[in-house]
Structure 1
Amino acid sequence: MVVTGGVRIGRWARPVAGVVAGVVTAAVEMAILVASGLLLTLTVPAPALRRRVLAAVLRYAPVAARWERRRLAWAANRPAPAPLRATGRRAVGYLALRVVPGLLGALTVGVLAVGVVLAAVLLRAVVTGGVAVPDLLLQLVIGAGLLLVNLQAVASVGALDRHLARRMLEPDGEDALRRRIDELTESRAGVMAAVDAERRRIERDLHDGVQQRLVALGMLLGRARRSRDPDRARALLDQAHADVQWALDELREVAWQVYPSALDHSPLDEVLTMVARRTPIPVRISHALPDRPPRPVEAVLYFIACEAITNAAKHAGATVIDIEIRAGDGGVDMWVRDDGRGGADPAGSGLRGLARRAAALDGNLDVSSPPGGPTTIRATLPCG
C-alpha cells in the first residue's frame, strides 16, 4: 500500500515539478533574450561587436534548449532524449516561443498555490472549530474538483511544452530519414566489426583451449596404445577420459559464447540462473516481464549480462551482482549492478561490442562506472 501510494504521488509530483521548473527557466530565458535583443540593437553601429554578440546567442541557445529537453524527459519519466541537432536559430525561436507555456504554467502553478493556502486556512478552521460540518463537506467537494481541474491544467501545460519542443527542435521528415540512414550505416559497420572481433576471439579460444587439450588427448591415447603395462594403459585411458570431459566442457562454453542454445527452450531468467550457478560470486536476478521478448532481444540481453558478470567477477572485485529485467517503454530494460571498485571503460572492446549489439536492434547501452564504484550497466531494447 505504501509503495502504491508513493507511485501515485510521484506520478503527479514530477509533472508539477517540471512545470514549476519550466516557469523559472522560461522567465530566465526570456530575460536573456530580451537583453540580447537590446544589446544587438545598441551594437548596430559596431558590426564586429554585433556579430560577436549574435554568435554568442546562437552558440548558447542550443545549450539552453538541450537542458529544456532533459527537463521535459525527467518530468514525463522518460529516458534521456537523443542528442540535439537543431540549429542555433531554431533554438532561439524555440526559447522565444516558450513564453507561452511559461505564462500558462505560472498561472496554473499560482492557482495551485492559492488552493494550498485556502486548504491550510480551512484546516485551521476545522481545528479551531470555526466551520460547520455541512460547510466543511461543501468546501471539500469544491476543493477536490478544483484540484483535479488544476492538475489537468498542469498536465496540459506540460503536453504543450513537449509539443513545442518536438516541433521546434526535432528534425523534420527529411532530416530524420537522413539521420536514420547515418545511424544504420554506423550500426552496420559496428556490427561487422563486432562479428570480426567475435570470430577472432572464438578462434583464439579454440586454439588455446580445445585444440591444445585435443592434442594432449591424442598423445595420451598414443602412449596408452604403445604401453605394454595394462595398469599403466588403464591409468592413461582414465586420464584421457577426464581430458575428453574437460574438452567437452570447454567446447560447450565456446558454443554458448556463440549462441546460447538454452534460449530455444528456456526463458531468459532460467538461462541466466544457470550462468549464475557457475559464477564464483552471488548473482541476484529479478525478472518481471509479462511476455517473452523476441529471441534476438533475449540473446543480446544474455550476452550483455554475461559480459557484465564476467567483468564484475574478474576485474571489479565485486561481492554481489544484481540483475533486474522489466518491461520498459515499448521494450525491455535491464540493469546489471555490482558493488565492485568501478572504473570500467565504456570504450573498451567488450563494452563497445555490447553497445554495437544493442544498436543493431535500435537499442541503447549506458554504462556508469565511477572510480570506487558501483558499476551500473543499463540496456534498453525495443520489442516492436
Structure 2
Amino acid sequence: MRCGVGLMTGAAAAAIELPFAVLAGAALLPVAAWPAGRRAVLRPVLVCARRLAELERARLRIWLGVRVPPPHEDLRALRYVAGRWALGLLGGVVMLSAAIGLGYGLFWLYGWILLDGIRDPGSIALSSFGGFFLLFLAVQGIFGVAGLEGQWARQCFGPRHQEELERRIAELSASRAAVVDAVHDERRRIERDLHDGVQQRLVALGMLLGRARRSQDAARRDRLLGQAHEESRRALDELREVAWRIYPTTLDEAGLRAALETVAERASVPVRVEYHLTEEPERAVATVAYFVVCEAVTNAVKHAAPSRIIVAVGGAEEGMVHVAVQDDGCGGANASGSGLFGLARRVAALDGVLTVISPPGGPTVVSAELPCA
C-alpha cells in the first residue's frame, strides 16, 4: 500500500518535473555558449531543482523507505529531476494497470448486471482471471519501479566512486593514527601502573630486606622479614593485576564469556553478565569487546558508585556484535575522557561505533557495535 501511494505521488510529481525539465532545457539551450548568460539562467534553475529534489527525498523516505543523503551539488539535483520524470510516468502506468486489473478481477461482482451473467458466465470468468493476472503483474511492477526509484536516487545523491575511495582512505588513515595513539597510551598506562604500584612495592621490599640484614636484634629482624614477605605478596598481586589488564590469558584459553565472568567476579560491586552469542567471535573482536567491558566496569566502580552493573553481549544483527554495559550510578560520564576516548579508538580501529549515554543522575550505558565476519 505504501509503495503504491509512493508511486502515485511520484506520478503526480512527474507532471511537474517533466515541464520543468523541458523549460530548463529550452532556457539553457540559447545561452549554452555564453558563460555569463548560462550562469544567470542556471542560478534559478538549480534553486528550483534543489527544492524539487528535497521534496523527492521526503517522498522516498516516507513512502518507499529509501533514505538518501542530500545532494552535495545542485547539478546533481538537476540531473536527478531531469531523469526522474520517466520513472514517475512509469509508476503511473503501473498503478493504472493495477487499477484496471483490479477492476477486471472483480468483474464477477457486477458483470452479471452488464452482461447478463446467467447467459454468459464464461466471459465473466475469463475477464476475472485476466484481471487478476494483470493485477499480479502490476504488483510486481510496483516493487520493481520502487527499486528503480531508490537506485536512481542513490546514484544521483550518493557519493561518487572516487569520493567513496577518498573517504575510505581518510577513515583508514585516521584509524591507523588512532591505533598508534592507543598503543602509546597503553604503554604509558603500563609504565604508570608499574611505577606507581609494583616498583614502589619492590623498593619498599628492598628497604625492608636491607634493614633486616643490618639489624642485630633477632626479634626486630624477624618482624622486618615478615613485613618484607607481606610486601612481596602485595607486589606479586599488583604484578598479576597489571598483567591481567594488559591481556587476560583466560580470553585465549576459555573464550570471551569466561573472561567477562572473571571481570564480574573481580569487581567490587555485583555484575550480571548476559551473554547471548552462540559462537565465539573473532580474536580481534573478542579482545575489543573484553576491553570495552573491562574499562566500562572499572570506570563505573571508580567514578559512579553504582549498586549493580549489567553487561550484555549479543548479536544485534547479522555480522555485528553488540556490547553494552549499564550501571545505576550517578551518571555524568565524560565520553571524551582518556579511558572512554581510548575505547572509542579501539572500537574505531575495527570500523565499529562506541556510544556513551550518561545523563546526570544516571543510568550510564556504554555500548559498542563491532562488525565481524
* Coarse TM-score class (shorter-chain normalised): 0.5 to 0.7
Structure 1 residue runs of 5 or longer lacking an equivalent are 1-15, 115-147
Q: Secondary structure at the match of 1:340?
A: coil
Q: Report the residue type matching 1:196 in the other structure.
A: H
Counterparts of residues 1-384 of structure 1 (less than 5 Å): 51=43, 58=50, 65=57, 86-90=72-76, 159=147, 162-327=150-315, 328-384=317-373
TM-score relative to the length of structure 2: 0.68
1:320–1:215 Cα change, 3 Å:
same
| 1:214-257 CA distance string (max 9 Å, x none) | 10111111122222333332222222222222112212222222
1:221 & 1:365 partners in 2: Cα distance? 48
1:378 & 1:324 partners in 2: Cα distance? 9
| 1:17-76 CA distance string (max 9 Å, x none) | 8x6997899799999989x99xx9xxx99x9999589569759967995x7898799x69
1:63 & 1:259 partners in 2: Cα distance? 53
Q: Report the residue type matching 1:283 in the other structure.
A: V
Question: How much has 1:180 moved relative to structure 2?
Answer: 1.1
Q: Report the residue type matching 1:335 in the other structure.
A: A
Are 2:354 and 2:367, in contact at CA under 8 Å, matched by a contact in 1? yes
1:153–1:27 Cα change, 3 Å:
closer
Moved more, 151-160 or 288-297: 151-160
1:54–1:160 Cα change, 3 Å:
closer
Q: Report the residue type matching 2:353 in the other structure.
A: N
Aligned to 1:8: none
Q: Secondary structure at the match of 2:267?
A: coil
1:333–1:31 Cα change, 3 Å:
farther
2:295 & 2:218 partners in 1: Cα distance? 47
2:331 & 2:55 partners in 1: Cα distance? 30
Q: Secondary structure at the match of 2:165?
A: helix
Q: Report the residue type matching 1:178 in the other structure.
A: E
Q: Secondary structure at the match of 1:322?
A: strand
Q: Report the residue type matching 2:371 in the other structure.
A: P
Are 2:68 and 2:157, in contact at CA under 8 Å, matched by a contact in 1? no
Are 1:325 and 1:334, in contact at CA under 8 Å, matched by a contact in 2? yes
Are 1:72 and 1:162, in contact at CA under 8 Å, matched by a contact in 2? no
2:302 & 2:8 partners in 1: Cα distance? 48
Are 2:313 and 2:324, in contact at CA under 8 Å, matched by a contact in 1? yes
Structure 2 residue runs of 5 or longer lacking an equivalent are 29-36, 103-135
1:235–1:293 Cα change, 3 Å:
same
Q: Secondary structure at the match of 1:336?
A: strand
1:184–1:286 Cα change, 3 Å:
same
Moved more, 99-108 or 326-335: 99-108
Are 1:61 and 1:88, in contact at CA under 8 Å, matched by a contact in 2? no
Question: How much has 1:179 moved relative to structure 2?
Answer: 1.3
Q: Report the residue type matching 2:278 in the other structure.
A: P
Q: Secondary structure at the match of 2:281?
A: coil
| 1:162-200 CA distance string (max 9 Å, x none) | 544443333233222211111111111111122222211
Q: Secondary structure at the match of 1:361?
A: coil
Aligned to 1:144: none
Same amino acid, percent of matched pairs: 47
Question: How much has 1:96 moved relative to structure 2?
Answer: 8.2
1:70–1:341 Cα change, 3 Å:
farther
Q: Secondary structure at the match of 1:185?
A: helix
Are 1:191 and 1:357, in contact at CA under 8 Å, matched by a contact in 2? yes
Q: Secondary structure at the match of 1:225?
A: helix
Q: Report the residue type matching 1:371 in the other structure.
A: P
Aligned to 1:13: none
Moved more, 23-32 or 276-285: 23-32
TM-score relative to the length of structure 1: 0.66
Q: Secondary structure at the match of 1:376?
A: strand
2:363 & 2:279 partners in 1: Cα distance? 30
Moved more, 56-65 or 186-195: 56-65
Q: Count matched residues.
A: 328
Question: How much has 1:303 moved relative to structure 2?
Answer: 0.9
Are 2:311 and 2:324, in contact at CA under 8 Å, matched by a contact in 1? yes
2:150 & 2:279 partners in 1: Cα distance? 31
1:171 & 1:374 partners in 2: Cα distance? 39
Question: How much has 1:324 moved relative to structure 2?
Answer: 1.5
